[in-house]
Amino acid sequence: MPSPDYLAEVRRICDDHKLLLILDEIQTGMGRTGKLFAYEHFGIKPDIMTLAKGLGGGVAIGAVLARDAVAASFQPGTHASTFGGNPLACAAATATMETLLEDGFMLDSCQRAGRYFAGRLEKLKKDFPSTIIDVRGEGLMRGLELTMAGGPVVEACAKRGILINCTSGNVLRFTPPLIVVEKEIDYLIDVLEDIFERQSH
């Protein structure tokens, strides 16, 4: 996670030197962090932003968004996209956006679930201080840094019906669906507790 003032300082540097600030929100966008786009947590706006993955709600699509002044430099043929403009993908993206922006629906529940998830992970860290170094992330995009290799934990979770990822060799990465509920988070925590207890013996 960047420090709270990191992106604001990057924005200032870009403005001072007339540079475009381009943000990749392919994984962090579409409500994943509790805001529609992750940059909203930091009080800045990009000049260009890339989107994909969650944008299509499971249908492959990619998109580039830009401020009006930047977008004006694009002419037909200056930018191509493998999935851009596909009628099915665009219909899926439209439906996804409408659902995410529905009053009191997805973003509110994502924020609640994200807070609950963070609390459960922090408690897990307190219970296993020799196993867990750090809990980080925002909303429903979380990382758990371990003192040991994460691969065996990923495999053990898969055997219990939970698909997670490991990055950097020892960081468990969690990106549950935005519709995750507390009992599903509780099941994950129960499984992790069991795995960590077995590892410590």
Q: What is the pLDDT of residues 6-38, one digit of tens each?
A: 999 999 999 999 999 999 999 999 999 999 999
In this prediction, residues 76-82 reach a mean pLDDT of 76
In this prediction, residue 100 has a pLDDT band, given cuts at 50, 70 and 90, of confident
Give the span between the Cα atoms of 7 and 46, in whole angstroms: 10
SS (H, E, C) 20-76: CCEEECCCCCCCCCCCCCHHHHHCCCCCEEEECHHHHCCCCCCEEEECHHHHCCCCC
**What average pLDDT is seen over the chain?**
93
Return the percentage of the chain with pLDDT > 70, whole number: 97
Structural contact between residues 107 and 100, judged by C-beta atoms closer than 8 angstroms: yes
Structural contact between residues 22 and 10, judged by C-beta atoms closer than 8 angstroms: no
Q: What is the pLDDT of residue 102?
A: 83
Cα Rg, the chain, nearest whole Å: 19
Regarding beta strands 48-51 and 132-138, do their DSSP bridges make them parallel or antiparallel, or are they unpaired?
A: unpaired
The domains of the chain, with CATH numbers, are 6-101 (3.40.640.10), 106-200 (3.90.1150.10)
Task: Tabulate helix, strand, coil % of the chain (nearest 5).
Answer: 45, 15, 40
Q: What is the pLDDT of residue 123?
A: 98
In this prediction, residues 99-108 reach a mean pLDDT of 79
Give the span between the Cα atoms of 46 and 43, in whole angstroms: 10
Give the span between the Cα atoms of 189 and 176, in whole angstroms: 13
